[in-house]
Amino acid sequence: MTLVVIGVFDGVHRGHQEILGRAKELANGEKIIALTFDPHPTTVFAPERAPSLLTTLADRVELLKIHNADQVAVIKFTKEFAALSPQDFVKNVLVDQLEATKVVVGKDFTYGYKAAGNIETLTQSGKELGFEVIALDLVDEDDHKISSTRIRTYLIEGKVEVARELLSRPHRLDGVVVHGEKRGREIGYPTANLGELEGQTIPSDGVYAGWLTVGIDRWPAAISIGTNPTFEGVRARQVEAYAIDQVDLDLYDKKATIEFGWRLRDTLKFDGLNPLLEQMAKDCARARELTEL
């Protein structure tokens, strides 16, 4: 006996959390399985329009389990899978593989080839194959649906505080610390420069307050995204974090996480090193103050 909750669940935001919470209330001895898909379906249907993601797959699975899923089933989304008829999806996946006795979805749920299946067809299949369908209203905030698309837009605009409210946690990037220009170390602010961020949603250029985590260590951090315009030369966009008051860390090649709490300011081009250092000191002081709240 299983209760299956279906969705892409990118970000596992407050709307997803509400659905998972209702699933917990609806379960009557059933194991709760969150059924999700990887990669994002748009990557298969229209790769040129594929969105950046709010969570890595590993983070998504972890968050789904935190928010009431006993188990997470990940289906590899391919053209072959997308070609399944609604009937085959229900029979092969929900009934044969997951042994669903209840299926919980949002009211806008569609499935099967060309999204031909909807709540009505799923409900009819449930009556025929022995499972109950519960369709839930989507969660609104200020008369707008809480969605991964909406949160992604806020992040791209640099509005990390709004995104944090809708996610119920700071947005995070997971990567590996790579060698940069080491300019921060030369001026007294050694930074962890994150690489391997492909596919993740990177906030707009600017300076942020948040946290840097490596292994079991988590430090308050001042975070910079941009091209360091104060210095001469054309350089690639970088995501780097200075662990406040930590000057002797050796983090190269280690997996690291940056969490974005607050936006401090836009990226600016300063007239020389001294004005930059003065502003960086102010940024770190403000980041320290915010992260200690």
What's the chain's average pLDDT?
92
Q: Measured on CA atoms in the order 23, 143, 150, 79, is the torsion positive or negative?
A: positive
Contact present, 74 and 37 (Cβ < 8 Å): yes
The domain made up of 2-145 has a fold known as Rossmann fold (3.40.50)
- What is the rounded CA–CA span in Å between residue 107 and residue 119? 7
- What is the rounded CA–CA span in Å between residue 55 and residue 171? 8
The residues of the chain that CATH labels 3.40.50.620 are 2-145
What pLDDT was estimated at residue 142? 64
Read off the pLDDT of residues 127-154 as tens digits, 9 standing for 90 and up. 999 999 999 987 776 667 899 999 999 9
Read off the pLDDT of residues 157-168 as tens digits, 9 standing for 90 and up. 999 999 999 999
Tokens of 174: 């997971």
Contact present, 123 and 130 (Cβ < 8 Å): no
293 — pLDDT class (breaks 50, 70, 90): low
Read off the pLDDT of residues 170-213 as tens digits, 9 standing for 90 and up. 999 999 999 876 665 666 788 999 999 999 999 999 999 999 99
What pLDDT was estimated at residue 231? 65
- What is the rounded CA–CA span in Å between residue 81 and residue 279? 53
The mean per-residue pLDDT over the stretch 213-237 comes to 84
The residues of the chain that CATH labels 2.40.30.30 are 170-291
Considering the entire predicted model, what is its pTM? 0.91
Q: Which CATH architecture has domain 170-291?
A: Beta Barrel (2.40)
